[in-house]
A and B are shown apart, each in its own frame.
Chain A
Amino acid sequence: MDVQAEVAEYFCQILREDHDVSAGIAAIRTLLYFLEKDNSKTLQELDNKLSKAIASMRQTDYPITAITSATELFRRFITLTSLLDNQSFDKCKESMLSRGQLFLNKLKEARDKVGKMAGPFIVDGCKILTHSKSRVVLQTMKEAAKANKRFTVYVTCSSPDESGRLMCKELDAANIPCTLILDSTMGYVMEQVDMVMVGAEGVVESGGIINKVGSYTMAMCAKELKKPFYVLTESFKFVRIYPLNQQNLPKEFKYSASKLQNDLSKEHPMVDYTPPSFITLLFTDLGILTPSAVSDELIKLYL
């Protein structure tokens, strides 16, 4: 049992120490660390242990969507690698570790790539509305500011955790003019802005996104006022679920692990689901995708 506790601890430690790491990357790093320490003799055993490790990470209070998508991707990686190298288990594990590092590096590059894709869409003199805090959005904006573009940003403070304040602080530090607005001001601000740019915790098969609660509201507002709604996200956030509506979204996605035992009807959901019809484009490290291209991507992977 203490292996699992160790995994969870390692995972939390990464996220505590480095604020620039997203939960997905942290999960994969943790699993790679776990793989290194692991002493399983067979694939089956490894798989079982991995499941337990993943489960332990899901018990933490960090957003579960990203953990789910990243860990699922990792398991896929394990399976595919073992298929590629079907010799002895030891050799297989060796290549897993070396390829794993490559894999991780690629994921780390993802944010830069997204920034590059989305850069041209921030034009001189534009006004952008964003929701909550997203590292990808922040980095893209920083890049754009470096490229001498003049733009202003509206950030919702995004209750209940008020992560928008953090975003605003970071933008201020980067010398990008930004205004913190109340969540309820969304509709008021919408008419002045040129576009909405949000990050995502997860991208689902339909091409919709799971993101901080309020994103759906924002997307609806944007659609009503005919403003483009752009999503910036790394590809490891693609999850294999197909929510039909908000209720359909898995409970563990909506509520942090510690609150799952409580009476959920009294709890605030942390995320909501934005259907694809509200999304103009998704900027990912795989390229600029229309929502319909997302399912294509997922099918290619999990065929």
Chain B
Amino acid sequence: MSRGKSNKDLESLKTEDVVQAVVVADNFSDAFVPMTNDVPSCLLPLVNTCLLDHTLEWLSNAGVQEVFLFCTRQVEKVREHVKNSKWSSEASPLLLNVIVSETCLTLGDAMRDLDAKALIRGDFILVMGDTVANVNLSPILEKHRRLQKTDKGLAMTVVYKYAGPSHPGRAPQDDILVAVDKKTSKILFHQKRVSSPDQKKVHIPMEIIMDLPSIDIYNDLVDTHVSVCSASVLPLFSDNFDFQTCEDFIKGLLMNEEILASSLAAYFLSDSEYAASVNSWPMYRNVTQNMIHRWTYPLVPDMLISDNEKPYQYLKGNVYKQHPVTLSRSSIIQDDCVIGGGSKVGEGSSITRSVVGRNCQIGNGVKIEDSFVWDGCIIEDKCSIIRTVVGCNCIVRQGASLSQGCILGQGVQCPAKFECSQRLQSSPGDEDFERIGDAAYIVKLDDDESDSEDGRAPQIWNELFSNENFDDEVDADSDVSSELSDASDRTMSPVLDDTNLFYNEVVDSLKRGFEDKLHCDNLVLEINSSRYAYNVSMREVNLLVVKAILNLPESDSYLTQLWQMLTYFMPILKNYIKNPVAQIDCLQALKEVAGAESEMLSGVVKFLKVLYDQDILSEELILKWHSDLKTDPESKDLCRVAAPFIKWLEEAEEESEEESE
């Protein structure tokens, strides 16, 4: 499906001068369910323009001449969109080729498929179809080529942006630690990490530090998911079929640098350059805000020119108004708002820090805050929409109140006076989702599918605003509590065959590791690779690893052995159990193991104590877990055994409270 072959300018250019880019039009995750039920993720609107258009606009401004658009899901929709856009017109500055491969499930698959198709001739730029950026690519390409001259094995230049930990412009799952050779900007070490206070230590292998005169270690970087790849990248993916994500690729290359004879370089964006990949709701929100704050200039609403779009007007207070918007006299639009053309806002309504799509009807007395209302929605009188995403063509009936990470899929009709903070979709789907109205069903995410690309489960319902604490502390607190209850209410999916196999492998690895005194980091890698082999979700990994550790000790001297193993495997536990959801999994594992094996009961207190002391489990969650146990008749024993520890915890808390007073 190549177009615009008559493009004389491009033909006349020498092949090596053509800057090629591969745009992967899928994020290979279910982060945006239910929005992505019938629309591919790259066509989701961000500030009223779909993500793919943002990406292509940037690429064309950045001097890319040929783009390979790699589609996997809902290919027809992408194709249709591209066909109707300016990118397929005669005069398009981009030569756009759509490549279809519906069997790909990961980025790795896509790369392998691309390798098989042999379309790429030289260095290319790899970006996701949901990238919003204003980076000029030529200096990056230049640097890549310069480094290539000295280092023949340079496979990829990864583009990073500076943003300190807990920077509002970065998603929690994107926290990374990178060590770079100062002289050659070669990446020496790369680790994904979570910025939780309990993980204060970082292990960097000595050999990295020993060999080089100076290295830089960064923890204030955000991976932009933009990279410049040498031609060798595609074969590398093909040769190593366990490379599923870019993350795997980087890790694999660093681990086996000698074998694969490839290296990576880092490129750091200056403060005036912006790049981010919208791969989760927190990023969606961050990037939207950054765009409204004009960090993405010239990719800002009042500059985006698609020929059949009406222009936006940029007003003070970062308010963008597309022509023609009808605002009633008493309506208030303030602070960082975008209002799409053809929308109407009724009397007494207020819109704050939100994006409203085109042709929306907003009634009287509506309050919209920190929300995203997409095209064609009807919001009736006196609704309150706070921290919510409302998909295209939704109808929110009178007096409904949507809040705290509520997400309405396309075409949902939210009943009157309904209060909601969950994800809703318009059709019942395959399973029987709970019905709320004519076209409103509560979405349940299937665990098997929710394995996100970055290796951290994104299932927290309220993740959209989970890193809100900068804005207002009170709301953030309520967020956390609701998110915990949601997460723990969910039952784990039945253990499948694959999962069993995975479990056995984990047990084997751990056993061998303990006996041979292998390094825990290697064990983690081993577990991770089996995880990809069996396609196990992150939450199950958490559950099974803890289970495996608990089941390892022989029954005769259970307690002593458990003690040893816990100490030995502590790094593994720390690696996996690093957020509230994982903690819930961990406690669930404890419950399941203790329920099955009576020896375990004796170790419960010890286990809890050790994990609590190591800051792996939080007091709040243990208490909650215990109170849940009380209601469960089957785990009466467990409840009883754990009681002393709980009592101790409560006393300790009281003490500390007294002390603080």
Q: Which residues of A contact B (CB under 8 A)?
A: 124, 148, 150, 177
Contacts and interface: CB of A to CB of B under 8 A. Distances in A.
Nearest to B328: A150
Nearest to A175: B329
B329 A150 contact: yes
B346 to A, nearest CB: 13
Interface string B548-583: 000000000000000000000000000000000000
A177 B330 CA distance: 11
Interface residues of B, number: 5
A261 to B, nearest CB: 51
Contacts of A177: 329
Contacts of B326: 148
Contacts of A148: 324, 326-327
Contacts of B315: 124
Contacts of B327: 124, 148, 150
Nearest to B313: A124
B329 to A, nearest CB: 5
Interface of B: 315, 324, 326-327, 329
Contacts of A124: 315, 327
A148 B329 CA distance: 9
A148 B327 CA distance: 7
A124 B326 CA distance: 11
7 contacts: A124-B315, A124-B327, A148-B324, A148-B326, A148-B327, A150-B327, A150-B329
A150 B330 CA distance: 9
A150 B315 CA distance: 14
Nearest to A148: B326
What 8 pairs across the A-B complex have the smallest Cβ distances?
A150-B329, A148-B326, A150-B327, A177-B329, A148-B327, A148-B324, A124-B327, A124-B315
Nearest to A147: B324
Nearest to A151: B329
A150 B329 CA distance: 6
Given A148-B324, A148-B326, A177-B329, 5 more contacts: A124-B315, A124-B327, A148-B327, A150-B327, A150-B329
Nearest to A145: B329
Nearest to B330: A150
A124 B327 CA distance: 10
A128 to B, nearest CB: 15
Nearest to B324: A148
A178 to B, nearest CB: 13
Nearest to A123: B315
Contacts of B324: 148
Q: Which of B315, B324, B326, B329 has the most A CB atoms < 10 Å from its CB?
A: B329
A221 to B, nearest CB: 25
A148 B331 CA distance: 13
A35 to B, nearest CB: 47
A124 B324 CA distance: 12
A148 B328 CA distance: 8
Nearest to B321: A124
B341 to A, nearest CB: 13
A177 B328 CA distance: 13
A26 to B, nearest CB: 36
A152 to B, nearest CB: 9
A148 B324 CA distance: 9
Nearest to A176: B329
A150 B324 CA distance: 14
A283 B315 CA distance: 25
Nearest to B331: A150
A148 B323 CA distance: 11
B324 to A, nearest CB: 7
A177 B329 CA distance: 9
Contacts of B329: 150, 177
Contacts of A150: 327, 329
A123 to B, nearest CB: 9
A10 B661 CA distance: 93
A150 B327 CA distance: 8
